[in-house]
Structure 1
Amino acid sequence: MKLFSRQLGFLLCRIFCLLCLLALAGCGWEPVGHRPVRVSLDAHHPWDEEGTEIWYTLIWNNGETLVRRHMNAGKETVISVPLGKTCVICAFPLGELAPYAGAWTPRSGGSTVVLSQTQGALGDFLLSLVKQDAIVIEAMDYPAVAAVATEKCGDVRMLDLEKFGLALLNGTLSEASFSRKEEKIVVLHDVPSGRWVSETGSDKPLWIGMGMPVPHMSLGAGKYRYYCASLRIELDIVVEEGVPNASIMLKPRYL
């Protein structure tokens, strides 16, 4: 009888523990020192309008680790961010295109983060520094940095990231650390006729065809992508520091 009672008690204890675990899972249990945050985008990707739905790869910092997760078009995603630390979050369209970005910070708090393409270049660069000095990224005032970068450069893609990054890691960041890149004139010769849509919503589409002037663009160092839905071709423009001419490439892109 005593043996039966012990076995019954042990069984009831196991059932109780299992029910507790199920309850925690149903309540969205988070690791100690973390909290759930809903992540969304402020706008659809420009290439969504070309007849497809773009999926995303979310990447954010957790200590020295970069965490990755798939995100469907038009969907919110819940992630776990460390409390008391700045968490930079990027969403890369198709896993590789120019990202949307934003951050959860102790000062801003809240349970939602809305990512924007206007901050994409900044967020992408900051995540690239995590392996070098995660503590600096976790301690930074992201909203203030993004605001100054926008004020000084207009388009954050034009921020001189090398100068900015050096000052950030050295602890000497000031307004003087935010300066614009040099720009180069890029002439788009020999690009097929069509309507070319930028991967970035702030850039106007390019119309190329017979009787139309050849597009001239003023661009800073970086990679710029355009897509022609009628041709299913991607146009890549790569501008490099110290290289006089931009690299212009065409490749198939099936969305």
Structure 2
Amino acid sequence: MHLKIEHQSKYRFEEPIRYVVQSHRLYASNFEGQSVVAWDVAVEGAIFGQYFTDSAGDQVRTMTLQGPVDEIAISVTGEVITTDLSGVLRNHVERVPPLAYLRATTLTKADNAIAELARSVSGTGSQLDTAHALSTAISEAITYTPGVTYSHTSAAEALDQGQGVCQDHAHALIAAARTLDLPARYVSGYLYATADGKQHEAGHAWAEIHVDGFGWIGFDAANACCPDENYVRLGSGLDANHAAPIRGVTHGLSEAELEVTVAVAAAQQ
């Protein structure tokens, strides 16, 4: 599928700040199921560093903006060709060993409830069968409900209240998989939500689990499926903080308001 992405992030500061430095993981991945046709990240007045590819195979670029700054507008536009590989991340070059993704974080630490859920589906067959069973169990245990969780909500908290959004589904699935010694990680990206040709709010996240014989496979517990041609992969990390598309620091004491719009549309044939 030929998809077009428009992603706008605007930071507005109550008082001008002296400068800002950001690390952008805003560039679409290249692998067998996804090829980049065109991609651009722009910030008016900013100075960009050189691109580099980190050990996880994700493209990263730093951005510096000198002040006084009262607003930052980050514009991402791109086109990709996607293919349905049933979630398998094939021919994605990276150097981090899968076992590195067994390490828990504050957001993905498993409690007794998560461990019990994981044990309830363990022994269901192969690692692949177990991974699918885990994703199904998380999908059933957490109802997709916007507005009830926050960026700092942990996997355990989301499972306990039984509600959350894609970030919570991903964190809970990662935590459950790691309790069974299955390496798992958080993935940020975009989702083309429908096939009606219209644009939609479509920032998204899911999990990848490493399965012997297959490598990394994506599981979207929020939508009870594996990523297909409707998904655009950006980058990965141990959790949402590690995989955040935008991370940065500012110099100056000022509160910031963030407005984000993301739209994904199918290109005209």
The two structures have a TM-score, normalised by structure 1, of 0.22
Largest Rg, 1 or 2: 1
- The structure where strand makes up a greater share of residues is 2
- The structure where helix makes up a greater share of residues is 1
The two structures have a TM-score, normalised by structure 2, of 0.21
- Point out which structure has higher relative CO (alpha carbons under 8 A, 6+ apart): 2
